[in-house]
Amino acid sequence: MLEIFKDRRTQKRISQNLETKFKVLNNPELAEIEYKKAQMKNISLGGLCLQSNQSLKTGNMVRVNFVLNEQDKKVDTFCEVKWCKRVIDGFLAGLSFITLTKEEEEHIYNFISQCN
């Protein structure tokens, strides 16, 4: 198979529609703004897809927090914006996890396993 047609994802990804909050960290104009609400569209151990009404610049660092289910504690982590595109309902952005604690990684892994 040609390299350009291979899926670049290395982690199993599941579709989810969960409330998520995010905050852009390395944009001085947005640094003082409180967390904004968004919707998680999918998640893997490598990152997540976020839908919001704010465009995110590729390379920006964002702080993201979400709860995977009622029993889980909140995941509060830093991500890098890998891509962002306009859609009918706002913007979709691909975020790559930068910092996950071992406990957060286990929560995400268990959640993905339970959803399959």
8 A C-beta contact, residue 112 and residue 43: yes
Q: Is the pTM of this model over 0.75?
A: yes
Q: What are phi and psi of 39, to 5 degrees?
A: -120, 130
pLDDT band, very low/low/confident/very high, at 30 (cuts 50, 70, 90): low
Q: What is the pLDDT of residue 93?
A: 97
8 A C-beta contact, residue 35 and residue 21: yes
Q: Which domains does the chain have, with CATH numbers?
A: 11-115 (2.40.10.220)
CA distances in angstroms from 16 to 25, 51, 58, 59, 89, listed in the order given: 25, 11, 23, 24, 17
Dist. CA 66–CA 43, nearest whole Å: 11
Mean pLDDT of the 14-37 span: 79
